[in-house]
Amino acid sequence: MARRRQSVTIKHVAADAGVSLQTVSRVINNEANVRPEMKTRVQASIDRLGYVPSIAARRMSGSKSYIILALNDRERTIEAWKAREGSDWVDQMLMGGMLKCAEHGYRLIFELVDTHDDNVQRELKAAIAALQPDGVVLTPPHADNPLITDLLVQHRIPFAAIGAETQAGPIHITMGDDRMAALAVRHLVAKGHERIGFIAGSREYALSGWRKQGYLAAMADAGLPTEHLCERGDFSYASGEVAARKLLSGKGRPTAIIASNDQMALATNAVAHEMGMRVPGDLSLVSFDNTPVVRFVQPPLTAIDQPVADTASCAVELLVQAIRGEELPPMPVVIEGSLIERESVAAPRRG
Amino acid sequence: MARRRQSVTIKHVAADAGVSLQTVSRVINNEANVRPEMKTRVQASIDRLGYVPSIAARRMSGSKSYIILALNDRERTIEAWKAREGSDWVDQMLMGGMLKCAEHGYRLIFELVDTHDDNVQRELKAAIAALQPDGVVLTPPHADNPLITDLLVQHRIPFAAIGAETQAGPIHITMGDDRMAALAVRHLVAKGHERIGFIAGSREYALSGWRKQGYLAAMADAGLPTEHLCERGDFSYASGEVAARKLLSGKGRPTAIIASNDQMALATNAVAHEMGMRVPGDLSLVSFDNTPVVRFVQPPLTAIDQPVADTASCAVELLVQAIRGEELPPMPVVIEGSLIERESVAAPRRG
DNA sequence: CTGAAAGCGCTAACAG
DNA sequence: CTGTTAGCGCTTTCAG
């Protein structure tokens, strides 16, 4: 294969502008110690020739690769992709992260590794060796895997942990899950609900605990009971069915349920219908995540939106700051979601 | 910032195995002219040290970057992402392409450029200069933009055009849109429908024409009329409403409609309900694309699945073959979808 | 079949 | 403030 050469290199620009390579380098890296006049001249040459630096060459010589790695769990991601259940986590993650990367001249590379596999470290090491990323975005449950975070710390690669239990690296972002759960509770309480059930998510995710705590705290604040009103699922539809059936078949059943994700909310909705209950007439329902599918079911579900794109965008922004050695804000940074009202919540029936 | 160095380089492997750099290079590139014994010894060192070559260094010296670019239209992609209408094109594209890339040691980088902007060429040139991709996946409507294809040809970068009208480069993939439309027609004819309406998509996409042609041909084959039964939308929900209203408000209205994408099908479904018609009792409906949302509406829609992931995967596979200089199959390669039966099709009412 | 030398495009370190 | 020099890790080219 023919050797593929850069068509316009820093040399061409230097020759065109009549300066040294180094001066051009300083201009493209926006370094100090270049006279404005010089800078203008060089920039003019860059624009005229349409010069864009090669990221491979920059990586080779300098310390930057201009690559940020977005690490996701292989098994879960592939499963979700194949199931086509309408979750757009990958989409939101990718678009949010990619667009922010582009603003700073970075590229985002999406990578899958097995969290549970003994080979995590080997897989991650290989990705690091191949790509030499300047930063890594870690999504749950990776964000809490010490095999991953330790390796990153050791390689001195800054990482942004999204939804992690504890702060293992420089950047720690959450989506305010506890406050969002409390918001859902208050929304239902304001409608007059007193018996509010909750379906928790998988223990493997820190956010499951936060959502549950937020629920418990808000219920306590409102002076409402939670006994026999809290079940745990694993985020799957099937687990949602089981939990919903338990909650709805006992005595003193709830007039409203908050489900920790959309699939479990969908399942709850189906179970309610199956049991002859109307949503929202007999049962109000608030979902978590607000993936596109909740808008298309009957009734469209009131949901807590999980701001995935904003979070990914923020992760990249902070990563770039960290790479540049700039000071970071206090952690954790909280990107709060919001409650989207639709048609699955109403006042409870009296009696 | 500290200069970040590769922890294990080809030099370490060479020293460990007691051979020259070149021999190691030959082994990792699977070249001929290495004694099996040598190869084994080198491979052992590679495994022991956990060596993985740096793609930046490989790009610098050799001709390969091990990067494949997936090019999508900026405006449309961002619009679809923000609308959160439940389309999972990006997801399917990314996962299909990325997993196939990984199999061959490549990485997929997702990039957005403005098809309509005068700066397409500048944007694309910049991406090429920065990344030096070994291949590019082009999605509609990029695949038919000569500003893009010419530039790629000129740079001798092989590209896979998905859903392009004509073959501008080495790889040309379609999803058999005409045959899929015919399949939808035959499905409806088999149920007893004779007046079958069709809502075409935006002229900007070659596949809109193919789908329409497939419909017209299949209708002709069945000896059925198409006059006043064919409207054109632009793939948007709003355009679907307009088209559906036209089709359903005339005399001799259709007993079934095929919509060229899911949003227009959803719109048709809504219009039918609004007009007091039942789906599928009074109107059967077949949708195109089969994005997740069609499973969650009432009734769940029978749809032609568009095999986006398989297509992206195939594009990458063929690209890798092209990069290696291997022979390619005859073009276009057709990745056919299938008809997914759900609940929006029934026999027409008699009368 | 294997090795040595040269250099890809850029930046770090140092010298002026 | 600007230029020079020396590589980064790998593949290509050319010798053996």
What's the pLDDT band for A287 if we cut at 50, 70, 90?
Answer: very high
Tell me the chain A residues in contact with residue B107 when contact means C-beta distances shorter than 8 Å.
109, 130-131
Q: Please state the rounded mean pLDDT for residues B256-285.
A: 97
- B300 alpha-carbon distance from chain centroid: 24
- CA nearest A111 in B: which residue? B98
CA–CA dist A242, A264 (Å, integer): 9
Q: Please state the rounded mean pLDDT for residues B223-244.
A: 96
B26 touches A25 (CB < 8 A) = no
Q: Please state the rounded mean pLDDT for residues B89-97.
A: 95
The architecture (CATH level 2) of B177-306 comes to: 3-Layer(aba) Sandwich (3.40)
Q: Please state the rounded mean pLDDT for residues B264-275.
A: 96
B88 touches B292 (CB < 8 A) = yes
Between strands B256-259 and B284-289, the pairing is parallel
Q: How many CB pairs under 8 A join A and B?
A: 160
B56-67: per-residue pLDDT in tens?
999 998 778 999
**pLDDT above 80: residue A3:** no
- Nucleotide nearest A56, from its CA to each C1': C9
Q: Please state the rounded mean pLDDT for residues A49-58.
A: 93
Per-residue pLDDT at B38: 87
- Nucleotide nearest B60, from its CA to each C1': C8
Please tell me which of B50-54, B58-62, B193-197 the model is most confident about, judged by mean pLDDT: B193-197
CB atoms A110 and B94 under 8 Å: yes
- Tokens 């909740």 locate to A294
- Which are the contacts of A69, defined by CB distance < 8 A and separation ≥ 6? A108, A109, A111, A127, A131, A133, A135, A136, A137
A159-203: per-residue pLDDT in tens?
999 999 999 999 999 999 999 999 999 999 999 999 999 999 999
Protein CA at A25 to nucleotide C1' at D7, angstroms: 16
CB atoms B98 and A84 under 8 Å: no
**pLDDT above 60: residue B2:** no
Give the fold, CATH level 3, of B10-60. 434 Repressor (Amino-terminal Domain) (1.10.260)
B296-346: per-residue pLDDT in tens?
888 999 999 999 999 999 999 999 999 999 999 999 999 999 999 999 999
What's the pLDDT band for B350 if we cut at 50, 70, 90?
Answer: confident
Protein CA at A2 to nucleotide C1' at C4, angstroms: 23
Q: Please state the rounded mean pLDDT for residues B198-207.
A: 96
pTM score over 0.85: yes
**pLDDT above 70: residue B351:** no
**Coil, strand, or helix at residue A135?**
strand
Q: Where in chain A is the domain with CATH 1.10.260.40?
A: 10-60
CA–CA dist A149, A137 (Å, integer): 11
Which residue has better confidence, A37 or B180? B180
Per-residue pLDDT at B1: 45
Per-residue pLDDT at A128: 95
Per-residue pLDDT at B3: 59
- Quick one: angle between helices A21-28 and A36-49, nearest 10? 90
Pick the closest to residue A185 from A281, A266, A302, A280 (CA basis).
Answer: A302
Which residue has better confidence, A2 or A264? A264
Per-residue pLDDT at A266: 95
**Distances from the Cα of B259 to the Cαs of B185, B208, B217, B256, B285, in angstroms?**
11, 11, 16, 10, 8
Q: Where in chain A is the domain with CATH 3.40.50.2300?
A: 67-175+307-336, 177-306
DSSP string, B43-61: HHHHHHHT----HHHHHHH
**pLDDT above 80: residue A51:** yes
Quick one: CA torsion of A336, A342, A343, A345, rounded to 10 degrees? Answer: 20
Per-residue pLDDT at A6: 79
Contact residues, B window 68-127, toward A, CB-based 8 Å cutoff? 77-78, 81, 84-86, 88, 90-92, 94-95, 98-99, 102, 107-110, 112, 122, 125-126
CA–CA dist A224, B35 (Å, integer): 77
- The CATH code belonging to domain A67-175+307-336 is 3.40.50.2300
Per-residue pLDDT at A1: 45
A268 touches A279 (CB < 8 A) = no
A114-162: per-residue pLDDT in tens?
887 788 999 999 999 999 999 999 998 888 999 999 999 999 999 999 9
CA–CA dist A191, B61 (Å, integer): 67
